[in-house]
Structure 1
Amino acid sequence: MGRAFEVRKASMAKTAAAKTKVYSRYGKEIYMAAKAGVPDPEMNTGLKRIIDEARAKQVPADVINRAIEKAKGGSEENYHAVTYEGFGPGSASFIVECLTDNDNRTYSEVRNCFTKSKGKIGVNGSVVHGYDHVGLLSFKHNDEEAIMEILLEHEVDLQDIELEEDSITVTVDPTSLHKAKEAIEEALGETTFDVLEITYLPHEYVTMSEEDMPNYEKMIKMLDEVEDVQNYYHNVESGE
């Protein structure tokens, strides 16, 4: 099975705590998208796309609606995106995406996750070269060739397609994620996506040793507890 399948499996196996973090993440992203334009997904393409991704992650409608209403209310909260890279226990590498209103606080908290887990935060570019930045879609279907034809007809920048256990996982260029979603829905009708996200796929996975596993698990837990961390990606096969 391929890299995309590993990511799909991990994405669908989130703990309750991780799901709460996902709700917070999309709440912020929806708020910022609504604040940046018209707070109506039918008139704001960026907002609509983030809402589509949130729904694929089972983010409740009330979380989505609260974020939009908050933007309508003229809240002064403002966030911007920052990304950190570094090396965890063993041979693990991490990419950490954050939304913050205070760079110094966020950097200090993320660096603390690395150092207290026997890792080291790196400079920009130190890790990302070992990953592919892709759009990922996964849904129930069993005709791989038909889906490939649909995507190519719609000029989607298709990178890979896998059929595994009656699910198709499609890897596309990040800019083609929503074009692919719309092409699939146009051809198949309303479709439930198990995964609909932009993510990082490592070129190679590593297995954490028994000795390094406690520090790896500690780092995962600490990252989950940092409010500004929106998402993180790593190359540990047996991980989250």
Structure 2
Amino acid sequence: MGRSFEVRKASMAKTQGAKIKVYSKYGKEIYVCAKNGGIDPDMNLSLRHLISKAKRDQVPAHVIEKALDKASGGGGEDYQPARYEGFGPGGVSVIVDCLTDNGNRTFQDVRQCFVKTGAKIGTPGVVAHMFDHQAVFQFKGDDEEAVLEALMMEDADVTDIELEDGVITVFAPNTEFFKVKTALNAAFPDLTLDVEEITFVPQNQSPISGEDAEKFQKFLDLLDDCDDVQQVYHNAEIQ
């Protein structure tokens, strides 16, 4: 029983640690969004979306409220966005987005993740052209033609619509995020969006396997441990 308890306790600690990281990242992002665009979600659409996303990821209300209270105070840390690009293990393309109050520290932390796994950090723009910056929506459905028609009726610009295994995915330019979301909600009031985000979509996948795949997972784990890292985008297809 002792060994079983220790394993269970370690698993719970790992899960709790992962939750804390998620809460911390959302708290920082909500704080920055509210500080820059205002704390009223009705006036700050980006904040409204971010809060909705946080709730969907089960971020506690007190974490959200604390970030908003901090932003309303007008003081606090001055976080700035930072983006790093490069090639991960196996040569896959990687974009790392951060929020930082110390650019030098964050660069060194991210750089070490590359160095420790034999990856190579590059100059700005070295891989960004290999991705499309898009709004992505995903929900259950089987009539992509009806979805396309509804979006066209609202003059929403759409890049592509895919239907696979009863799931519809809508791709649109990142600037069309709120227009597409509004059009979908208006046309399908009972619709539940499983995914609604602005992300970097790779133009091509890069298959990796074996040792490269193991190194790449370690690379992602190291980045996940960096407090300033908010998002990691890549084109790896692990086989």
TM-score range, shorter chain: 0.7 to 0.9
CA spacing shift, 1:85–1:62, aligned 2, 3 Å: same
Structure 1: any 5+ residue segments left out of the alignment?
1-14
Aligned partner of 1:73: which letter? G
Once the two structures are TM-superposed, the CA of residue 230 in structure 1 deviates from its matched residue by: 0.3
Once the two structures are TM-superposed, the CA of residue 207 in structure 1 deviates from its matched residue by: 1.9
Once the two structures are TM-superposed, the CA of residue 153 in structure 1 deviates from its matched residue by: 1.4
Separation (CA, whole Å) in 2 of partners of 1:231 and 1:148: 29
Structure 2: any 5+ residue segments left out of the alignment?
1-14
Q: Render the CA deviation track for 1:89-109: whole Å, top value 9, x for unaligned.
A: 112110000000110000000
CA spacing shift, 1:44–1:203, aligned 2, 3 Å: closer
1:41 equivalent in alignment to 2:41: yes
Q: Render the CA deviation track for 1:7-48: whole Å, top value 9, x for unaligned.
A: xxxxxxxx8866654432222121112222431112323322
Separation (CA, whole Å) in 1 of partners of 2:166 and 2:59: 25
1:146 aligned residue: 146
Q: What is the percentage of aligned positions where both structures have the same residue?
A: 48
2:209·2:238 contact (CA, 8 Å) conserved in 1?
Answer: no
Q: How many residues align?
A: 225
SS in 2 for 1:145: helix
Q: Render the CA deviation track for 1:62-113: whole Å, top value 9, x for unaligned.
A: 3322211222234421211111000111121100000001100000000100
1:72 equivalent in alignment to 2:72: yes
Of 70-79 and 90-99, deviating more is 70-79
2:5 aligned residue: none
Aligned partner of 1:31: which letter? Y
Separation (CA, whole Å) in 2 of partners of 1:208 and 1:30: 35
1:228 aligned residue: 228
Separation (CA, whole Å) in 1 of partners of 2:177 and 2:37: 21
Of 19-28 and 139-148, deviating more is 19-28
Separation (CA, whole Å) in 2 of partners of 1:133 and 1:81: 16
1:30 aligned residue: 30
Separation (CA, whole Å) in 2 of partners of 1:218 and 1:156: 40
1:87 aligned residue: 87
Separation (CA, whole Å) in 2 of partners of 1:155 and 1:55: 30
Which structure ranks higher in relative contact order (CA pairs < 8 Å, sequence separation ≥ 6)?
Answer: 1
Separation (CA, whole Å) in 2 of partners of 1:148 and 1:20: 39
CA spacing shift, 1:165–1:133, aligned 2, 3 Å: same
**What is the TM-score with the length of structure 1 in the denominator?**
0.86
2:61 aligned residue: 61
1:160 equivalent in alignment to 2:160: yes
1:49·1:178 contact (CA, 8 Å) conserved in 2?
Answer: no
